[in-house]
Structure 1
Amino acid sequence: MNRDFTYSIPWNIFIITLGSCIYAVSIKSIAYVHGFIPGGIFGLGSIVYYFTELLDPSLWFFLLNLPLFALGWFKISKRFCLYSLYAMCFSTVAYQVLNIPINIENEFYATVAAGVMGGLGSGLILRSLGSGGGMDIVAVMLNQKYNIGVGKTFFAFNLLLFSLSLSVLKPDLVVASIINVFIASTTIDSVISLFNQRKVVFIISDHAKAIYDDIRDQLNRSGTFLEGKGAYTGQNRDVLMTVINNIQLKKLEEITFTRDPNAFFIVENTFSVLGQGFSRRKVY
């Protein structure tokens, strides 16, 4: 996908809309049906309402979001807040409009399904230049400043929230909700990093230059030559380093061993690759 396209308004509106619909269905058709505790700022609003009996959870949700959006406006960007506002509003509309029955009777299966669907929806929203509002704003700020995974922040906050709920809710329900948000947080991080993960390959061979030429011609990828020296032989030789996606790995393996059956072929997983030819650094 063209990297500039991912910064376009149509793409961001599309991915936020899709994610909001999936998230709304997961909440309305699964989570609330089984009585799972709502997480995030809405869950916090529900707790505040329970202890104070003032206003109502939806109004608390609105009031608690105000300082978070102000924080995002000044600390992240105006564009981020506008996309986040759209996501929050559309999620509310989708929740009211969409009625898709998902008949899951087993509570554990429902916990897993709600976690996967909710995490997928939230993850898609967070792949845009916005967020779902609420704790997502804090999670994005922590990720930008300290590289803390968005899903980890989401899980930590909700774990604390559910712990506070133990005194007023059934333990079984709290445990089910914790499992739900754990699955959701893991799914969120997986969706966010899905297209940034690549393979770093080190190729040690006497035919490194010829292998590189084949990589350039057949895979349309470049590489970097590193100077190496055999510990046993003491001979100098080039080490070719290249970065590819998962689909190209087997082709690269074929190219390498066709040229040199005695080559060393070392593969490492990467968490993220940014730069020319790969993902663009995300700027909100």
Structure 2
Amino acid sequence: MRNIVIVTFGSILIGFAYNFLLIPHEILSSGLSGIAIMLGLVTPVNTGVLNFLLNLPLLILGVMKLGKRFIGYTILSVVVVSVSLYIIPVYKMTNEPLLASIFGGVIAGVGVGIIFRASGSSGGFDIVAMLLNKKRDLPLGALISGMNAVVVLISGFIFSWDAALYTLVSIYATGKVIDTIHTSHIKLTLMIVTSKGEEVKKKLLGSLYRGVTIMDAEGAYTGEKRKVLFTVITRYQLGEVKDMIKEVDSTAFVNITQTTEVIGMFDRG
């Protein structure tokens, strides 16, 4: 329930940033939402409707490639963002486009960042970025910003190059805020002590693109045999990993420490 509230709140923030700051100045946001804003400005179709329709193919891809929890929160976010864009009136909060691009980008970044922290996304290029992030350890904000060059170019050709530059400012602000809030590139080392070592190992290897080291151990007090599993994950994966461990062995002992640096192969080995 807590994550549902967080995803809903973050999605409403995004809708507010678009309708109060970006759209009135013809400034596009990042990703498919930016394309939806552009189409909403040049056609009579509401931006919220367009945002939902454009996200449908990627949501289907996410169902096939990403975890149920992640895609469930993402579907919720896409629906709430689309409804917010439909319900919240378009209002020019400031007459200064530079202020609109900066604060619109920051507020949208806060919304997307807290949605990521709740193990979801706002859809669009976020889904593509998550797929890439699972394969390669790169900051999500940088990935999303890198995929948005086409949005900036479209803004320049359709509206004006001033609008394109304001769009670039907005996208940059959004990406920096996402990285600040989400910090997916922070590594965590997990030491898992469990009597169901093989089951936990299979669960982790089946769901993570990370290596797992397993060792034999013995309880000092009970003398019972245990398995100790070591793995390094990103901070983004922590909630998912804790759920997987609890599902297999609710009594497992898990020690979680922040890792300063990883040398060698970080992907599955």
TM-score, structure 2 as length reference: 0.62
Aligned mates of 1:100, 1:46 — CA distance in 2:
12
State the Cα deviation string for residues 95-120 of structure 1 (Å, max 9, x = none).
Answer: 34446967322221221111111100
Structure 1 residue 29: Cα displacement:
0.9
Matched residue of 2:159: which SS? coil
1:13 to 2:13 alignment: no
Structure 1 residue 70: Cα displacement:
1.9
Matched residue of 2:148: which SS? helix
Residue number in structure 1 paired with 2:72: 82
Equivalent in 1, 11, 22 of residue 31 of structure 1: 22
Residue number in structure 2 paired with 1:276: 255
Supply the AA of the counterpart residue of 2:23: Y
1:258-269 to 2 correspondences below 5 Å? none
Aligned mates of 1:128, 1:48 — CA distance in 2:
30
Over the aligned positions, Cα root-mean-square deviation in angstroms equals 3.5
1:117–1:180 Cα change, 3 Å: same
Alignment identity in percent?
26
Residue number in structure 2 paired with 1:163: 153
1:107 to 2:100 alignment: no
Structure 1 residue 76: Cα displacement:
1.0
1:115-194 to 2 correspondences below 5 Å? 115-193=105-183
1:39–1:195 Cα change, 3 Å: closer
Aligned mates of 1:32, 1:114 — CA distance in 2:
10
Aligned mates of 1:187, 1:35 — CA distance in 2:
22
Supply the AA of the counterpart residue of 2:2: W
- Judge which range, 118-127 or 158-167, deviates more: 158-167
Residue number in structure 1 paired with 2:13: 22
Residues 48, 84 of structure 2: 8 Å contact kept = no
1:272–1:128 Cα change, 3 Å: closer
1:42 to 2:21 alignment: no
Give the gaps of 5 or more residues in structure 1: 1-9, 199-270, 280-284
Matched residue of 1:166: which SS? helix
Give the gaps of 5 or more residues in structure 2: 189-233, 239-253, 259-269
Aligned mates of 1:74, 1:151 — CA distance in 2:
23
1:58–1:26 Cα change, 3 Å: closer
Aligned mates of 1:98, 1:60 — CA distance in 2:
15
Structure 1 residue 166: Cα displacement:
2.7
State the Cα deviation string for residues 150-194 of structure 1 (Å, max 9, x = none).
Answer: 211221222222224433321101001111100111111111029
Aligned mates of 2:3, 2:185 — CA distance in 1:
16
Matched residue of 1:36: which SS? coil
1:44–1:21 Cα change, 3 Å: closer
Aligned mates of 2:90, 2:35 — CA distance in 1:
27
Structure 1 residue 30: Cα displacement:
0.8
Aligned mates of 1:135, 1:92 — CA distance in 2:
16
Matched residue of 1:276: which SS? strand
Matched residue of 1:94: which SS? helix
Aligned mates of 2:100, 2:52 — CA distance in 1:
28
